[in-house]
Amino acid sequence: MLLNTVLRLCSWLPLKLAHSLGSFIGWAAWGLKTESCRITRINLALCFPQMPLQERNVLAQQSLVETARTACELGQIWINPPNYALAKIVKISGKEYLDAALAKGSGIIILAPHLGNWELCGLFLDSCGQSTYLYKPPKLAAFESKMLHYRGRLGAKLAPTSAKGVAMLLKALGRGELVGILPDQEPNIESGVFAPFFGVDALTMTLVAKLANRTEAAVLSIFAKRLENSEGFEIVIQPARPDVANQDIACATKALNETVEDCVRLAPAQYQWEYRRFKRQADNSKNALYR
């Protein structure tokens, strides 16, 4: 009930007001030194050790604001009709890569990192063709049911992170369809290897390399960049690093993380730095920094 109420309230706000609310929440998270603030600062220190502390702190503050804005946009994208959210896309960069891959008809693996508004990316891709998205079932069953409902409004299929879900992705690619994956989500230890992400070893999924090797699918990255002054969003599409389909898993996962890095560098403050990306170490121990 509370989730419904919050989503509904956010759906009524103009985008600029939703962003103002996100700014307030983000600055409060920084001022109160919340857990999100702590993890954000840890991750930025790990990934950008050469960056001056003052500059890193500014980036951390901006990141907390942008992450809160993403949360405040959720109601607008989930509750309002899809066309309402799609109308917020005012620019598309790299659409020629998507068009060429669609014309080829061999399927497309879409890498959508936790950057900008990834929910909007889903709606955009749904408007381009039949899509299947891999998702990690959340702990709250009520939230999962709503997520499945809202993400499937334009006909998208949702594949859980399981053998059944992987089979769904392979079948979709076999039909020449779109498959969406969050490439920076930490997999189970048996489903990943360690590869550098901004110079720090991170448990990285091998699924993308395996899918690319078993199919002739194109591999592209996408994110929805939030524009200044709440003017809307720019969809940014780029080819993944070529080695993302390398049969050498170490080489392929390194290229996967480099593909995510390429996206993040275009809008570093809009990346979800509060995610515990490095919680598991190469010796299978937990990162003591995260406690």
- Average of per-residue pLDDT values in the chain: 93
What pLDDT, on a 0 to 100 scale, did the predictor assign at position 283? 82
Looking at residues 83-95, what average pLDDT do you find?
96
Which of these, 64, 78, 163, 65, lies nearest to 122 by C-alpha position? 78
Q: What's the CA gap between 244 and 249, in Å, rounded?
A: 9
- pLDDT above 80: residue 181: yes
CB 222 within 8 A of CB 235: yes
Domains of the chain, residue spans: 2-270
What pLDDT, on a 0 to 100 scale, did the predictor assign at position 266? 98
What pLDDT, on a 0 to 100 scale, did the predictor assign at position 2? 55
Report the amino acid identity of residue 226. R
CB 170 within 8 A of CB 157: no
Q: What's the CA gap between 117 and 234, in Å, rounded?
A: 10
Q: What's the CA gap between 289 and 43, in Å, rounded?
A: 10
Q: What number of CA atoms fall less than 13 Å from residue 93's CA on the CB side?
A: 13
What pLDDT, on a 0 to 100 scale, did the predictor assign at position 203? 96
What pLDDT, on a 0 to 100 scale, did the predictor assign at position 3? 61
Highest mean pLDDT among 4-13, 75-84, 143-152: 75-84
Looking at residues 251-278, what average pLDDT do you find?
97
Looking at residues 277-289, what average pLDDT do you find?
87
The SS3 assignment for 33 reads: coil
Looking at residues 96-104, what average pLDDT do you find?
96
What pLDDT, on a 0 to 100 scale, did the predictor assign at position 259? 98
- What b-and-e string marks burial along 93-107, b requiring 16 or more CB atoms within 10 Å of the CB? eeeebbeebbeeeeb
What pLDDT, on a 0 to 100 scale, did the predictor assign at position 140? 72
Q: What is the pLDDT of residues 230-254, one digit of tens each?
A: 999 999 999 999 999 999 999 999 9
The SS3 assignment for 96 reads: helix
Looking at residues 109-126, what average pLDDT do you find?
95
Strands (E), the chain: 89-93, 108-111, 131-135, 157-160, 178-181, 192-197, 200-205, 218-226, 233-239
The SS3 assignment for 42 reads: helix
Percent above pLDDT 70 for the chain: 98
